[in-house]
Amino acid sequence: MLSIVLFALLLVVAITLFAKRIRFVRKAIGLGRDADFSDQTPLRWKTMARVALGQGKMTARPVAGILHILIYIGFVVINLEMLEIVVDGLTGSHRVFRGIPGYDGLIAAFEILAFLVLFACVVFLIRRNVLAIARFRSSELKGWPSLDANLILVAEIALMFAFLSMNAADALLQVRGDAHYPQAGAFPISQWLQPLYAGLSDGGLVAVERGMWWFHITGVLAFLVYVTYSKHFHILLAFPNTYFANLAGPGTMPNMDAVTKEVQLMMDPTADPYAAPPADAAPPETFGVKDVTDLSWKQILEAYSCTECGRCTSACPANQTGKLLSPRKVMMDVRDRAEELAGIKQKEGAEAEGGTPLTARITEEEIWACTSCQACIQACPILISPMGILLDMRRNLIMEESKSPESLTAMFNNVENNGAPWAFPAANRANWITE
């Protein structure tokens, strides 16, 4: 009875902490401006199924992609076993679903997948910490981001080992005829662990089986809470992020409503260019992005969905040529700022400000290094757009701060004075015809 109460308490605490964190992240994402993604619903479901559910872009890099798919499938399928563990924990039963058809095959499949997940995590640990892969050596990964990735991999290995050890002890107790461990399941992988525990007494085996059971379920529930603080939040957020992805054609840059309205007024011969706005009109919006509150909620969602895999940075031509820009860092900066500002507002009130704004995190050098080539978007396995954030920050620099590199300033002046980017009048541009 005590174990049932302890398990129920553990479950309630984990779900409560998870729900509390989800509410905070939702508030952080809600700092962004409204954006409408209600169009093309069938295509959005198709995109989510192909990219998030089907892992459609992962195999662009086959080794990492296939290993990630193994972990993904294992994570999804093995967690079906969690339903049985929860029911057993709340009722005090053992293998409550053992009577369903195909149960033995299901346990065998869980074990094979657990081994594949364990193998993939070991390979990822080696790739991340031993092999000199450039995208795992970037400065933005120093400290917590690198530790976070390693913690998850080690935790996955420990959880899979605990699951297999639990089954190994369970199988030995079944053979010994323990009344609480009826014949159930097939154990193609954990049978190789049985020699580790075969010399134990019945009580020792029960202690191993129960200890591994508690370690596994506690670890899974702890993972449920921890993942919401980690880059591994993409496990959940990849689905809404791909559903709300930008479905416009490549290179499409959305027009700003305020600018569009001004142009329409200029082109309308009946409009009064000197008309004052109504007295109750809202203050004019700022152009572009200066802080996270100027981003759309979708752009902040992208930051929380970022896997920090670095594919965007390794594909970025600016980064490859030694420039300061790292698209991955842009997304990490947005997420960190959203976390900071949401925490300040939660603590001090809805109107509170402070902390380090986005413009102090992402420098002008980074902003202007972007070539707008969309390599980062193409490389991202879940359709995140660092480029969109950089372009919006450029808009703010030009339209609010009147800041631009000298080469662009000259081009703007030429367009204004000559009607073209070149430094000579339009009347002279066709002179070459007569030569």
pLDDT, one tens digit per residue, over 387-433 is 999 999 999 999 888 888 888 888 888 888 887 888 777 777 777 78
| Among the listed residues 20, 73, 7, 8, the one whose alpha carbon sits nearest the alpha carbon of residue 225 | 20
pLDDT band at 20 (very low <50, low <70, confident <90, very high): very high
Domain ranges of the chain: 2-243, 287-403
What is the model's pTM?
0.88
Pick the CATH number of 287-403 from 1.10.287, 1.10.40, 1.10.1060, 1.25.40: 1.10.1060
Q: Is 94 exposed, middle or buried (0-12, 13-18, 19+ CB in 10 A)?
A: middle
pLDDT band at 276 (very low <50, low <70, confident <90, very high): confident
Over residues 94-98, the mean pLDDT reads 83
Does pLDDT of 38 surpass 70? Answer: yes
| Element holding 230 (H helix, E strand) | none
Q: How far apart are CA 207 and CA 219, in angstroms?
A: 18
Does pLDDT of 176 surpass 80? Answer: yes
Distance of CA 343 to the CA centre of its chain: 20
The answer to whether 389 and 65 are in contact (CB under 8 A) is no
Q: Could you read off the pLDDT of 345-363 as tens digits, one per residue?
A: 888 877 778 888 999 999 9
3-state SS, 152-220, equals: HHHHHHHHHHHHHHHHHHHHHHHHCCCCCCCCCCCCCCHHHCHHHHCCCCHHHHHHHHHHHHHHHHHHH
| Among the listed residues 338, 341, 339, 335, the one whose alpha carbon sits nearest the alpha carbon of residue 355 | 341
Does pLDDT of 251 surpass 70? Answer: no
Does pLDDT of 297 surpass 90? Answer: yes
- HSE at residue 207, side-chain half, CA atoms within 13 A, is 6
Q: How many residues does the chain have?
A: 435
The answer to whether 219 and 11 are in contact (CB under 8 A) is no
pLDDT band at 299 (very low <50, low <70, confident <90, very high): very high
3-class SS of residue 33: strand
Q: What was the pLDDT predicted at 250? A: 67
Does pLDDT of 382 surpass 70? Answer: yes
Q: What was the pLDDT predicted at 137? A: 83
Q: What was the pLDDT predicted at 8? A: 92
- Of 121-125, 213-217, 284-288, 399-403, the range with the lowest mean pLDDT is 284-288
The crossing angle, in degrees rounded to 10, of helices 386-399 and 327-348 is: 70
Q: How far apart are CA 383 and CA 360, in angstroms?
A: 26
* Average pLDDT of every residue of the chain: 88
Q: What was the pLDDT predicted at 18? A: 95
3-class SS of residue 296: strand
- Of 86-95, 108-117, 297-306, the range with the lowest mean pLDDT is 86-95
Q: What was the pLDDT predicted at 183? A: 85
| Among the listed residues 245, 359, 254, 340, the one whose alpha carbon sits nearest the alpha carbon of residue 302 | 245
More confident residue, 371 or 257: 371
- The contacts of residue 358 (CB under 8 Å, 6+ apart) are 289, 290, 291, 292, 333, 334, 337, 393
> What percent of the chain lies above the pLDDT cut of 90?
48
Does pLDDT of 315 surpass 70? Answer: yes
Does pLDDT of 189 surpass 80? Answer: yes
Tell me, what amino acid is at 199? Answer: G
Q: What was the pLDDT predicted at 188? A: 92
More confident residue, 1 or 127: 127
Q: What was the pLDDT predicted at 258? A: 77
Q: Could you read off the pLDDT of 60-91 as tens digits, one per residue?
A: 888 888 888 888 888 888 777 888 888 888 88
CA distances from 123 to 71, 126, 128, 132 (A): 11, 5, 9, 14
pLDDT band at 22 (very low <50, low <70, confident <90, very high): very high
pLDDT band at 375 (very low <50, low <70, confident <90, very high): very high
Does pLDDT of 104 surpass 80? Answer: yes
